């Protein structure tokens, strides 16, 4: 009996969290983002304002949680990358699964996308979330997302994804033919650009190695002499 009670208690927070996320997306499909106060989200989710605050500091945080929820759905449905498939084809499959996961929320997502066009700060926040999601979409497709070239891949894919979504919002065909055409075009163009970026990366790699070696020697020298090293260091 106690075990059953504990299970119920464990599911309650998750249920409230999911209800808040669903409420925000529902309301976003009914009105502008700017016209959705937190109190209305809590009321639609049938939770108190206190419960809302327990889970989220803002409605932007709710949207970020929604994005992570979609990431998880896609990643849970992803197996090991198939070595006999081209990377572009693997990525296309991953992104099509993402569209499947997003389908129930399309009206709300279209409204939020329109809001981002009106609000540059909102657009920047959405771009950060998109870049983070695309990192995992690339990894799910077996495509490396690290290093300077990885940064180009991530931001390029984020821009491409926005173009795909713009078409998807109005694509009512059962097979999403228009959306798939745009996706294929964007991924093909991205592959071409990336090939050139990787060529540049290979050419400049020796220069980066020399610079890194110089900085390492400088840090070692400063450490031995007790000097201060003001060179910024990435964690």
Has residue 215 got a pLDDT over 80? no
Q: Both tokens of residue 71?
A: 């990431």
Each residue's pLDDT tens digit, 67-121? 999 999 999 998 887 777 888 999 999 999 999 999 999 999 999 999 999 999 9
Q: Which residue has the higher pLDDT, 139 or 227?
A: 139
Average pLDDT of every residue of the chain: 83
Q: Which residues form the domain of 202?
A: 67-215
Give residue 1's pLDDT: 42
Does 28 fall in a domain? no
Report how far residue 113's alpha carbon sits from residue 126's, in angstroms, rounded to the nearest whole number: 9
Does 23 fall in a domain? no
Does 73 fall in a domain? yes
User: Which of 146, 9, 161, 26 lies closest to 91 in space, CA to CA?
Assistant: 161
Report how far residue 109's alpha carbon sits from residue 103's, in angstroms, rounded to the nearest whole number: 9
- Number of domains forming the structure of the chain: 1
């Amino acid at each position: 009996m106690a075990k059953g009670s504990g299970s119920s208690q464990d599911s309650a927070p998750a249920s409230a969290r999911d209800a808040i996320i669903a409420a925000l997306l529902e309301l976003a499909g009914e009105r502008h983002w700017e016209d959705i106060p937190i109190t209305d989200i809590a009321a639609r989710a049938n939770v108190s304002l206190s419960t809302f605050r327990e889970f989220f500091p803002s409605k932007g945080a709710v949207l970020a949680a929604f994005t992570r929820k979609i990431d998880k759905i896609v990643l849970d449905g992803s197996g090991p990358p198939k070595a006999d498939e081209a990377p572009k084809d693997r990525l296309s499959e991953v992104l099509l699964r993402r569209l499947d996961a997003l389908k129930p929320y399309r009206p709300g997502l279209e409204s939020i996308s329109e809001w981002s066009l009106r609000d540059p700060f909102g657009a920047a926040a959405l771009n950060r979330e998109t870049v983070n999601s695309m990192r995992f979409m690339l990894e799910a497709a077996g495509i490396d997302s690290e290093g300077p070239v990885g940064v180009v891949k991530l931001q390029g894919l984020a821009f491409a994804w926005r173009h795909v979504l713009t078409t998807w919002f109005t694509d009512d065909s059962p097979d999403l033919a228009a959306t798939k055409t745009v996706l294929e075009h964007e991924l093909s163009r991205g592959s071409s650009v990336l090939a050139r970026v990787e060529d540049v990366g290979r050419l400049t790699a020796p220069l980066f190695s020399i610079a890194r070696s110089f900085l390492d020697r400088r840090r070692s020298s400063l450490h031995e002499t007790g000097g201060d090293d003001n060179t910024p260091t990435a964690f």
